[in-house]
Amino acid sequence: MGADYRIVVNHGWQGWVRNSVTRYLEKLGREIQSDMERMAPVRTGRLRAGMYHEVNRGELRVGVRNVPYWSTVEFGSGPHIIKPNTKKALHWPGARHPVNQVLHPGTPAQPFMRVALYKRRGRL
């Protein structure tokens, strides 16, 4: 009595692995982006609208595009002086008179990216 074992290598295995990894990363990216959108503070909706995820060649990128203040929301800011860029003075509705500069007290951090990224996830 004998036994035969036959091992056949599927020559398309690399494509199968690549497709599986891409599907996994796409699902992970959607989940992280969804958590970011849920955790981000909303005033105008611009921050939330700038969030994205993309998968390219086995690399997942998640972030915010075209919203320059995202880092101030994520990390906060310390006290700082605000001066006019193009005018001689600052003025806003409700101000008693124009001023040369304003001491901004800073803003507290409202992390949304790091919290979403480091969230423990079960099976995807």
The residues pairing with 90 across neighbouring beta strands, listed in sequence order, are: 99
Task: Tell whether 68 is covered by a domain.
Answer: yes
Residue 94 included in any domain = no
Instruction: Look at residue 25 and tell me if it is in a domain.
Output: yes
What is the per-residue pLDDT across 61-89, written as a single tens digit (0 to 9) for each? 999 999 999 999 999 999 999 999 998 99
Predicted structure pTM score: 0.78
Q: Where are the alpha helices (DSSP H) in 40-124?
A: 46-49, 70-75, 113-117
Provide, rounded to the nearest whole percent, the portion of the chain with pLDDT above 90. 76
Answer yes or no: is 63 within a domain.
Answer: yes
Distance CA 24, CA 35 (A): 17
- Residue 35 is assigned to a structural domain of this protein: yes
pLDDT interval class at 39 (50, 70, 90) = very high
Q: Count up the domains in the chain and report the number.
A: 1
Is 71 part of any domain? yes
pLDDT of 114 strictly over 70: yes
- Domain holding 48, by residue range, is 13-75+109-117
